[in-house]
Amino acid sequence: MLQFFQNLGHSTLARFNKLGRASFFLIHALSGFPKVAVRPRLLINQLYSVGVLSFFITTISGLFVGMVLSFQGFHILADFGAEETLGVMVAASLVRELGPVMCALLFAGRAGSALTAEIGLMKATEQLSGMEMMAIDPIHRIIAPRYLAGIIAMPILAILFSCIGVLGGHLVGVSLLGVDNGSFWGQMQAKLDFWDDIFNGVIKSIVFGCAVTWIALFEGYDTLPTSEGVSRATTRTVVNSAFAILGLDFILTTLMFGDH
């Protein structure tokens, strides 16, 4: 019994310790942002690997999510004779929830794990250490541009996810199931508000971008410099990111849409 509490205390302390290190890491990385602004090339390279390379998985997923949403929604709404509101249903669920959340989960799997593996391998092969010995701060030179790129790429991907999702929903709803084109768009426009729905969705995705990229980079930076350590860190990135996304989503949704 005593052993149990001892273990509990130990792991709690270890967790706090890690959180503290992650916070210092975050502050250190943020302090490197001005340096990135001076050298946009570093940012462009990272936007490519974080954003452009996640483009296809995001848009394809968005298309299918939109199509399935439309298909399922149609059958439920048709029971109430409210097929016209299909557009509202598809667009609202995409823009408010599915776009930011699904996209962030995909981002954690695609870009987040890649970032952890990359940084972890750089640590394991002494590249980060080597940079320090060349008097180059690896957190400013390597981490900061990746972090900024993650924060920028995430909302763009979420917006694209929602757009393609709505188009997919339109494809199934209007072209396949025969919902009226005019009411599909019209109801959507009547019901969705730019600031309440779309802007809030973008805010969500920016928050997710900050969280996922932070987790991914810190796990990579904090990994044990062995191949086993890197592979474990990669798994931790995906799992912790998923928890962070879902937890943050609940908090943000309550704050944003709670009064409706």
Residues that bind another protein (CB under 8 A): 41, 44-45, 47-48, 51-52, 55, 80-82, 84-85, 91, 95, 121-122, 125-127, 129-130, 132-137, 141, 152-153, 155-157, 159-160, 162-163, 166, 180, 182-183, 185-190, 192-194, 197-198, 202
Q: How far is the CB of 132 from another protein (least distance, A)?
A: 6
Q: Which is nearer to another protein, 118 or 242 (CB)?
A: 118
CB-based contacts of 19, cutoff 8 Å, min separation 6 = none
Q: Which is nearer to another protein, 161 or 214 (CB)?
A: 161
Q: Which is nearer to another protein, 47 or 148 (CB)?
A: 47
Q: How far is the CB of 60 from another protein (least distance, A)?
A: 14
Q: Which is nearer to another protein, 8 or 190 (CB)?
A: 190
Q: How far is the CB of 119 from another protein (least distance, A)?
A: 12
Q: How far is the CB of 58 from another protein (least distance, A)?
A: 11
Closest CA to 249 of 129, 93, 122: 93
Distance CA 65, CA 169 (A): 8
Q: Are 233 and 220 in contact (CB under 8 A)?
A: yes
Angle between helices 99-107 and 227-257 (to 10 degrees): 170
Q: How far is the CB of 239 from another protein (least distance, A)?
A: 27
Q: Are 154 and 50 in contact (CB under 8 A)?
A: no
Closest CA to 55 of 167, 188, 130, 154: 154
Closest CA to 173 of 80, 96, 82, 101: 82
Q: Which is nearer to another protein, 114 or 242 (CB)?
A: 114
Q: Would you state the structure tokens that stand for residue 247, as one six-digit string?
A: 């937890």
